[in-house]
Structure 1
Amino acid sequence: MPAETSAALPIEYDTVHQAADGQRDALVDELVHRGSQIVDDIDSLIFTRDVPGPAAWAQNTWLAPREYRVDSIGDAARRLTSIQRNWHLHSIAHHRRARLIADKLPPIRFKPLEFPAFVPSAPLGSFALLDRDRLLASPVCSSAFADGHPIFAEDRTGPPNRAYLKLWEALTLARRRPGPGDVCLELGASPGGWTWVLDRLGAEIIAVDRADLAPQIMASTRVTTWRGDAFGVTVDDLERPPDWILSDVIAYPSRLLDLADYWCHACPHAAVIITVKCQGMVDPAEISRFLDIKNARLCHLAANKHELTFFRLPEGGPPEAVFRGPDPH
């Protein structure tokens, strides 16, 4: 039967989660805590049912998975192109055969992104071979980037550390960014990687830390430095409520939850982005409490390590991230 008309095989799952590098256990614990039924796992892919949608510890979530019986490499390629144009191979088995299928698909040039960047509008599906004649394909994924990894053209001379890549990625996924006229409160700013990003965007920054920022960052006329505890600042200390509250400070999740909760309530119209650092084993119940904050979302950035990024944006936040309740869009 031609690939275009052959039916998908019956499956027992509705979602496939691709674990972020080194975060498989955290992903499994998150899925179990939220009530997902784990049907299978192969390599970095976790197959689930009952609770569809993205997961925080997934680098990418395959939202519309299907399986197909394919007779040949050409048959598999025809099946994929009959669904849509753009596909990325996430190889988990029969690697050479899977690569030959990918080579027959229309090419995609993944050029490094120049920040400020935009999320691609064209859908990007993911596929893999489960067996020589069994194709797994999802035309809809949570991320528009291959394996959930946006690749940026890095600046190796300007920023004082590589933390700037986290904020580049977070603002890209946020689909909005600060600019001239915006006031940004950055909590725990030293040595200034995030401050450097905000300054280059033209925003006014209040940078709070016990330590100094890099000299070239402190020299900017848009940067005001406050020496002190990132957790000791309140909205009453400011001349006006900030438009953005941002933090990459190192602290336990419980303290960061208190920080996020305070600023989201104190500045209900501000955009809030906070890195949630996780030491050792992750308590999924504790992490899920971040989602109790109205309009909050969590996701694992490609630039994150053993940490998540918290978003509370006026328009709801990145669709790549997990949220609780109906999508505000």
Structure 2
Amino acid sequence: MKKIYLTLTLILSIFTTHAQNFDVRKLTLKSDVILLYDQDSIAYIDEVINDHTTNHFYQLKAVTQTIKNSASFKFTNAKLPYLLENEDYFKIYQKEDCMGVGKVFDGVKRKFYGMLFLQKKGKNYEAIGTVQNDDPLSVWQELIKQIQSVSTLEKIKDPKERYTKSIDWFLDNNTLPDENFIKYYKQKGILKTDTAQLTEQQLARAKGLFFNGNETFLDLIASTNQTEIRDYYLQKLKDIVFQSEYEFGDCVRFRRIVCMLTKDFNENYDDLNRVLSDLLTKDELESYEKRPIMNHLIDLIEKKTYQIGTFSASKL
């Protein structure tokens, strides 16, 4: 039987971190085939061409689970070329980071898994993403469920329904629609502005998630009750100031929230209160010296000395 060869291009994306750190929705929708495999089933092949070129391949010997196959793909022990950083201008796992063979934890040999995302181009398949880590199979099953939930979106043909269901998916998965998503639905006439629009039920859900501490959805609710959002962040400032010691990250967050709630001190870079705010991130001051500054800034916000700025997660 003629083998199916899978070619890699410079747009290949390799994800080296935990599965949740990449855009699952986008990668799933772009992929025609998604395969889960045991990392022990990958063989690495180096073919030396000359003194300055080596072609690199990995060969998938077996598939643990076919998660998506919308292109009638048939696994045939495919041999896949891959590109190396500083040789082919591309970053990929090194062999020692990928191989599960011989890894032992607590005296028990464990299996390690990877996931391959393929896109059909003509008669060939291109790998557009790979995920590998040391998570147990149960964790991978959670990712598989998330991928399968995305797959239901591409079956929806009506743009309005697909937009609404996609917003539901974003809420379910604690993430936000990206710029391309917004541009597409604006181009289709479903959105009239450059911001996502939610149904009343979706907005209520987003607000509930936000006020329970999930600030991911700040941008989705930013145009609603500004006083309510202001009070939420005012309480966050008070939570910080009540701490006995302030880490650098606490001071940075405090300063950024203050800038957002004061419209960056009415955009006056010479404002004395802005100068005081900047002192919070200076190592020269101890926590007990920063506390009066924090209390002073909180007092200014409570007295509404400045306008409320634009609420955006990018400011935090």
Under a length normalisation based on structure 1, what TM-score does the superposition of the two structures give?
A: 0.25
Which structure would you say has the larger Rg? Answer: 2
**Higher relative helix content:** 2
